[in-house]
Amino acid sequence: MPIITMREAISQALWEEMERDERVFILGEEVGVWGGTYAVTRGFYDHFGPERVRDTPIAEGTIVGAANGAAMAGLRPIAEMMTINFAFLAMDQIVNQAAKIHSMFGGQMTIPVVIRAVGGGGRQLGATHSHTPDVIFAHFPGLKVVSPGTPYDAKGLLKAAIRGDDPVLFIENATLYQAKGEVPIEDYIVPIGVSNIQRAGKDVTIVTYSKMLQVSLQAAELLAKEGIEAEVVDLRSLRPLDMQPVIRSFKKTNRAVIAEEGWRSYGIGAEVAVRVYEAALDYVDAPIRRVAQKEVPLPYNRHLEQLALPQVQDVVEAVKGVL
């Protein structure tokens, strides 16, 4: 299989789905002439035209609101948020409209809208442009939340999101755009709401997703050199949250570390940990540990920013702690 970047995988998914289904169109800030803030839609405007690649004003509530209306009218819009930090300006349209309209109207209509948003820190963009608020959106039933950690999953999950009939928030970590991996040439999808074991092991379970998948895999390689075999489970989707691979792995290893880029308090790690305790309490040989961002607004200074973000060594130390 060809080895391509995460950026290329996402771009391929968008291009192929727009070619496959003329109802699919893209709207957002600078997605057209400029080709997207992260160059994901470069060349789309010239090929598909202004009707299907629509530059919008800097008004996130309007972007998602227009996408919701288009979806209810029979189209399949992909709304791009320049960054997930700006999605807060569209919260009502995302969690109070897109997530609820199908239920509020007794299933009479669907909202097949995909909202692409770039999240995560590590790019020296300051505290207000470096959020990882995934758990906030995953809290709301009716909205699917997806956050891939590999190019293969990014392409397959994005295709599944575009073809589905539910609203999906598709979170892309900006520091992963250059990450490379194998991606098939032939058409494929990755089902939303299915976790995946990315590395087999027998001593400890590391549960993670998105950027922290890559961090966790690096940590697992270092641990292997010391004779510690970690099993790495990639959640891929935060809602629906597939815990079965996590529980099966935990019942085998009896120990777990949960690694996420977001803040520890009220986070994804807390939810996963309590579900493990509820489902497999008799298998617990050590308290579950969580690795997460320091509880501060993320600093602009590069050195301080990296100190605040979870690193490979943090995962290694947490694993050794549970062992």
| Three-state DSSP string of 40-94 | CCCCHHHHHCCCCEEECCCCHHHHHHHHHHHHHCCCEEEEEECCHHHHHHHHHHH
Mean pLDDT of 263-279: 98
Residues with a catalytic annotation lie at 60, 129
Mean pLDDT of 276-291: 98
- Per-residue pLDDT, 58: 94
> What kind of architecture, by CATH, is found in domain 196-322?
3-Layer(aba) Sandwich (3.40)
pLDDT tens digits along 134-146: 999 999 999 999 9
How far is residue 27 from each of residues 73, 121, 250, measured CA to CA in Å?
A: 16, 24, 42
Global pTM reads 0.96
Domain boundaries, the chain: 3-182, 196-322
Mean pLDDT of 163-184: 97
pLDDT tens digits along 86-99: 999 999 999 999 99
CATH of domain 3-182: 3.40.50.970
| 196-322 and 3-182 share a CATH fold | yes
Residue 74 banded pLDDT, cuts 50, 70, 90: very high
